[in-house]
Amino acid sequence: MATYHVNVLTKDHKVAASHPLDVEASQAMLAKLAKLAWNVGETGGQIRVTDQAGKLVVVMGVNSARLAFAPG
């Protein structure tokens, strides 16, 4: 299992939420990021994921994540 760090940024690039994310596979990460995008109140922001070394792994817009992973 890998541990990543997730930052949700506002439109102004301020950190709105920050927490660790433990996942076993990349598909599991995408599902958790989709859920996070729907739970975040801020629109127009970004979700940034880094690995344990601080390397950027994923950058996606909150709105894009919502569109790509719409429930249903």
Buried-state track 20-51, b at ≥16 Cβ within 10 A, e below 16: eeebeeeeebbebbbebbeebebeebbbbbee
What's residue 33's pLDDT? 84
Q: How far apart are CA 42 and CA 52, in angstroms?
A: 26
pLDDT tens digits, 9-40:
888 888 888 889 888 877 778 878 888 888 87
What is the domain range of residue 56?
A: 2-68
Number of domains the chain contains: 1
pLDDT tens digits, 35-62:
888 887 767 789 999 999 999 999 999 8
